[in-house]
Structure 1
Amino acid sequence: MTKIFEVRSLSYTYPDGRQALRGVNLEVFSGEAVAIIGPNGAGKSTLLLALAGLIPVEGEVLYKGRHLNGLKDPRRLEIGILFQDPDTQLFSLTVYEDVAFGPRQMGFSEEEVHRRVKEALEKVGLSGFEERSPHHLSFGERRRVALATVLSMQPDVLLLDEPTSNLDPRARKQFLELMKGLRLTRIVATHDLELAYETADRVVVLYQGKVVACGRPSDVILNEKLLKSYGLELPLFVRYLKGEVEYARKDKASLLSTPDAL
């Protein structure tokens, strides 16, 4: 597989002296879905900003084999980022204008802009929302509009920061299905371990700014001892399944020990 990102000894210190990343090493391959999990303050969002070239860092971030050099690098257009708060990415009077903003800045014709807006809104399930005000939509709808603004740029890589946070159950389910349908390299920083389990090819555990574990979702998300070691809990669906399995075992044992049940 083609290597998209190669991160070497990546470190970042905030102006107040707090170190957010400490010697992170990471590789991400073309078409791969990677989930970055960890407790609050682990450095997940900071790592996404570093991968997007939005902050100065110590160490190296190689994108497609070349050093990524911040905002002025034209390859930045190949990397789309969805921030945790959709309102930071929505500022126009209509959904159409918000989604069209990026392609227009790239100099595309209005015909091409229209095609990209239509395609992006279809992907996020918001066809017909073009003339609506983004600020009058629900939080989940605004998040999908924000994603459409990124997809209209047709990035090669998508970075998502806590994409399911603050969503109600229905909106979360819709967004999870949307994530499963995206066919591009994506890296998701999330507390949502169910999202990581269901949509990622690989899970990276970040703790105190360091990568402390990496593996398949089943090897990481289902490992209670590993999760607890780094301040994480088994997701509810795993605890539920474990309870169901244990209940079934006890029930079966009860049946086998009761002659009347045979």
Structure 2
Amino acid sequence: MKDLDVAAVVTGGASGLGAATTRALTAAGVAVTVLDLDGERGQALAAELGGHTTFVRTDVTDEGSVQAAIDDATGKDRPLRIAVNCAGIGYAARVLGRDGSPHELAAFTRTVGVNLIGTFNVLRLAAAAMARTEPDADGERGVVVNTASIAAYDGQIGQIAYAASKGGIVGLTLPAARDLSSVGVRVCTIAPGLVDTPLLAGLPEEARTALASNIPFPKRLGRPEDFAELALDIVRHGYLNGEVIRMDGALRMAPR
């Protein structure tokens, strides 16, 4: 897909991976609707980027909330062709704590709800909107880029909820691509490694350096811009479909 005179939605688009993706898409000429719960950051980013960039406060787990954001994007003067799912949360706990207490079911449910079900909710509603647009010369109507994690493959001790949620995103990628092939919508997923997002930014520099030292090459934390560049590459590369791409500098996580 080379014509970027189109509309896009980016979930979690006000910070971290999502904000970097919003900036990259906007710079490429895309009209972006930022979907995020953080109203202050979302409005500030939309005001900064201006033009066709808008913000809609969105809960990805709520059907009506996501549909309202999709309606905002489809109401622009260009077709909705791109959806990038970056919204997500983390949670750390073992199946059994040191005192023998079991993992909180509510915490597991919430993590899977936001990361996996939220991704699917946006994917299905965005794809429905894309399916109503005119196809390009190759028959393509749009592309959905999801965010998993290398935890889907290398989940560490205490990551069972997070790894399960991200593993679900890996698992839905191929069947979603196959399901949506009939309407010309591609689906790919990025599985990032250690990326310098606000979550890692709060760590002491010594801890950040130690994390980076375990990465084979390049020996640095990933940058949100690395993710955004790859997302844009997927959007532009019309033959990428049904694929999960690890973006991790060849890192394979140890058990702890």
| Same fold? TM cut 0.5 | no
Q: Counting strand residues as a fraction of each chain, which structure ranks higher?
A: 1
Q: Which has the higher contact order (CA 8 A, sep 6+)?
A: 1
- Greater CA radius of gyration, 1 or 2? 1
Normalising by structure 1, we get a TM-score of 0.31
